[in-house]
Chain A
């Protein structure tokens, strides 16, 4: 009888623990769903070319300190363009902040535009008060940002390494992947990576360069 009671108590305790784990797992799935929300369509890009020197300019952050963008420096830079009126920007901010905290060799600059009271709300909500936060349309115009949220990655030498519309954590991570691989676009990457597959007609001189 004693053994049965002990076994029963143990089983109940384990069952409660199991139920806790199930709740935890299901909540994690919910968070994952929120983070991989559907992305928008990519677009043909314009503006500054990748693997070229980034345009240099100096802007003031919201506290009046100068922020140098595009100059050679000690650390690489990531410009994250956002706006208080863009909901996807807000959903990406936790991911951007996580990148900011996890990399010492990278300076993240938040570039925004618009009403100052709205900016303060975002800064308070996402605890960005110690980050470099620029409110200046000049930066976005120089880099020709048409869509938000947009991210630009500049290495320590001042070369623009990667840029793109970022709609999800996956897009953000792919920027760093681009930097690592040194390929400007997906097409470049595929051209460099794919083992040469012989297509009929490849050897014909008239077909050259048409791919």
Chain B
């Protein structure tokens, strides 16, 4: 299925910005992220350090690769796999009943307990990755197309940020209303 290049470019650039911000908060707080990896209790202890170092590098590399049309398709599929991996990590810990575990999704400043609705956010990211991976129909792009891609990216990233804070606020609201 071919898509208009505006759609694929928007998906790719938005995903790149989100991945880059995720990588940056992990790089800025390496000790925190290492603890986070250990907290998920999925890897043997020897792999905690290497995994905590490799994941932000992988995210950063994918963010860069998404920006070039030549590497976009492969990077988008890799990002899809990464998002799926994170979703699986959350799902396994939810199945273990660990609802008090910090998700670690939005960086060290925003603790947030695990909840099935976090998976819907990963679904959203997977949708962006699929959009970026879809082959683009050949079409000459003008200045106006560039503007639309930038504006749509800005809206997507802002809405993603809003959804993230919204999801983080939800448990607090439930706490207030006593449920």
Q: Contacting chain A: which of B78-86, B94-102, B148-156? A: B148-156
Roughly how many angstroms separate A13 CA and B172 CA in the complex, as a whole number? 33
B-side contacts of A128, CB under 8 Å? none
Residues of A within 8 A of B (CB): 5, 8-9, 12-13, 15-16, 19-20, 22-23, 26-27, 29-30, 33, 36, 38
6 A-B pairs with least C-beta separation? A19-B158, A12-B151, A33-B172, A26-B165, A23-B162, A22-B162
Q: Are B158 and A16 in contact (CB under 8 A)?
A: yes
Smallest CB-CB separation from B154: which chain A residue? Answer: A16
**Known contacts A22-B162, A33-B169; can you find 12 more A-B pairs with CB under 8 A?**
A16-B155, A19-B154, A19-B155, A22-B158, A26-B165, A26-B166, A26-B169, A29-B169, A30-B169, A33-B176, A36-B176, A38-B175
Residues of B within 8 A of A (CB): 144, 147-148, 151-152, 154-155, 158-159, 161-162, 165-166, 168-169, 172-173, 175-176
A-side contacts of B148, CB under 8 Å? 8, 12
Shortest C-beta distance, B38 to chain A (Å), equals: 24
Roughly how many angstroms separate A23 CA and B144 CA in the complex, as a whole number? 26
Roughly how many angstroms separate A16 CA and B166 CA in the complex, as a whole number? 18
B-side contacts of A9, CB under 8 Å? 147
* CB-contact partner of B162 in A5, A19, A38, under 8 A: A19
Roughly how many angstroms separate A76 CA and B176 CA in the complex, as a whole number? 34
B-side contacts of A26, CB under 8 Å? 162, 165-166, 169
Smallest CB-CB separation from A22: which chain B residue? Answer: B162
Given A30-B168, A30-B169, A33-B169, A20 contacting B158 (CB threshold 8 A): yes
Roughly how many angstroms separate A22 CA and B161 CA in the complex, as a whole number? 10
Q: Are B168 and A16 in contact (CB under 8 A)?
A: no
Roughly how many angstroms separate A23 CA and B172 CA in the complex, as a whole number? 18
